Structure 1
Amino acid sequence: MGRVLAIDFGKVRTGIAVTDELQLIAFGLETVATKELIAYLISYTSAENVDIFVVGEPKQMNNDPSESEVLIIPFLEKLKKSIPSIPVIRVDERFTSKMAFQTMIDSGLSKKKRKNKALVDEISATLILQSYLSSK
């Protein structure tokens, strides 16, 4: 069994989380510059067995796609062309950034560390992945 890799896509940087090989535990992997994301994923999937990509789906409160979805669609097309063997699943990502920030507060991180947007993105990807695992 391979890993599940989750992506919290952002215009500038993207948070990435993965599971263990048994797909039981979700943990943050890292945050990468979005312009380097496809190359990173190609490199990662050539070194690690990945069964599925889980990509956050930003929605508004009325269930309509948020405006950032227009940035994600071209990325998904590139991803499917670059790594066609790994399927992509979308997961609602509403509130993940707020939940990530609250997680940082709850875990006692200092104010300075909570300003680290890359860490927020990584935690958000972990929350997206955990949501997917819980729904399985």
Structure 2
Amino acid sequence: MDAEFRRGARLAVDWGKARVGIAACDRDGLLAYPVETVPTGPGTLKRIAELCAEYEPMEVLLGWPVNLAGWEGPAAQQMAVVADRLSDRLALPLRVVDERLSTASAARKLAASGKSSRNRRSIIDQAAAVDILEQALEYEKRTGHPAGRPWPQEG
């Protein structure tokens, strides 16, 4: 391992067309947990900034849409606009991380826990954010490098 795990809380954001799921973790990266689902709209960035002030993360991880073949398509272009707006709004490092299958994984976990499909709809975005965060934490612990890439992109 080239570097040790960076201690510090993190927030993960799963940005969707209708809702944004937010998850957080403790300073040691042992527990990722759901925080809130925020409706997508004019107040979304403000609410995320408020959550950053409350949770004091060292960085924010934004789910980045990549298709199953690993290509970035129109969804990534739309997310770049969101990432720019979020980066401009927050006084924190922002990293974009692969969110492939995070919603599908979250849906499977919720179904396995016995949540009805009606109940899953209200928390699926938070669960997807938890999945994104767990994957990022695991990657950093395994490799010693932060997951994803910094935003804005360098170069």
Establish whether residue 127 from structure 1 lines up as the match of residue 131 from structure 2.
yes
Distance in 1 (CA, whole Å) between partners of 2:118 and 2:86 is 34
Q: Which residue of 2 aligns with 1:26?
A: 32
> 1:2 Cα deviation (Å)?
3.8
Q: Which residue of 1 aligns with 2:57?
A: 50
Structure 2 SS opposite 1:129: helix
TM-score by length of 1: 0.89
Distance in 2 (CA, whole Å) between partners of 1:127 and 1:45 is 19
TM-score by length of 2: 0.79
Q: Cα deviations across residues 113-135 of structure 1 (Å, max 9, x unaligned)?
A: 23x2x311110000000000001
Where structure 2 has 5 or more consecutive residues not aligned to the other structure, the ranges are: 1-6, 141-155
Look up the equivalent residue of 2:55 and give its one-letter code.
E
Q: Which runs of 4+ in 1 moved over 6 A?
A: none
Where structure 1 has 5 or more consecutive residues not aligned to the other structure, the ranges are: none
Counterparts of 1:1-136 in structure 2 under 5 Å?
2-35=8-41, 36-83=43-90, 85-114=91-120, 116=121, 118-136=122-140
Whether the aligned pair in 1 keeps the contact of 2:9 and 2:24 (CA below 8 Å) is: yes
